[in-house]
Structure 1
Amino acid sequence: MTQATDALSLHDQAAGIERLRFELRTVPDPLVSPAQASLARHLHTLSDLVGQVAGQVATRGHQQWPVPHTDPVTRAFEAALSPLNAAQNELVHALQLAAPKDKPGAASVEQAAAHLLRHRVSEADAALQRAAGGLRAAADELVPAQPRRRDVAMARSARTIGSAFTPASPATSTAVASGPTPGPARASR
């Protein structure tokens, strides 16, 4: 794989993690029954992401002819597994808290469970943020983003004086209005 391909792979996994972080913010109120179904769906998505990241590690670990940049990419994927597993654990605990209770409990116990569930989801979000941030940092280190500066782009572009893309200077516009000049016309820059 090329460096650009590996960087895209790192960014792709980070984007999947970021999507899950966004979806976690839409978990319903823990005291409402859809919270359990929502958390189970997010846990399933997270399990898929963990499998994909582990697959990236396994694929790169078994390359017959690894290229020099393979080791940092593999380490970045390996480093993402720890916070992803932490997020998975937090969601499992949150799912257990969201499970319907057989006995009607006191309102204060339900409120405490709801607070703990929100804390678990928040911890999962923080772990996912660490995983995505590490993958993005590794991708940027592998293929650094080039700063786009308008003046550099303009210096490389072909343009003519007085064209529709470049405003004409006052000296050029008066010379054009007075008619042709004898000899070869030279544009000064």
Structure 2
Amino acid sequence: MQNEHPSLTCFSEEQRQAAMTKYQVIAPYLRSEKTLTVIVEETGIAKRTLQYWIRDYEQFGLTGLIRKTRSDAGKIHLDPEIVIAIEQLILKYKRNSLTSIHRMICEQFQKQSSQQPSYYQVYMVSQSLSKSLKKLAHDGPKAYENQFDLIHRREARYPNEIWQADHTLLDILVLNERSCSVQTKPI
């Protein structure tokens, strides 16, 4: 279990400071100076929360007091059909706000007696869509090309179809019999 809690140096200064703040709250209890009830009355922190902090500190030290991030943070926990329906509504309606899209999706899945997504889940689906896809769906291919495609693309249908010549004057270098170079004017 020690692998779950790396050393304090792996965490940011803010995380270490937050852990120290938690420790300062539970330190009087650990030194048997105060009871948990007194600490609850003084700080307003729930007794169960203090018990978790004490347990984590006794098991892992200060690293146990650092807030853990969820392994599934940022993932959307919805049925694929709901995600697809949300994406379709977002791409179909340009001018509608996410609130109205959330309302429409809830009405749609309420009729089916299905799970209704929260506003945050609709927001997360919206954020997962690429800007280029939204531009294409809302403004059309011309606006998409103007913003996301190359400015000018040339393609040849067969070899040597496209030739490029730059009109830069070149210097001519002439060697005489002594292998000395004589520079002449550009032509």
Whether the TM-score (by the shorter chain) exceeds 0.5 is no
Flag the structure with larger Rg.
2
Larger helix fraction of residues: 1
TM-score by length of 2: 0.23
TM-score by length of 1: 0.23
Quick one: higher RCO (CA 8 Å, sep 6+), 1 or 2?
Answer: 1
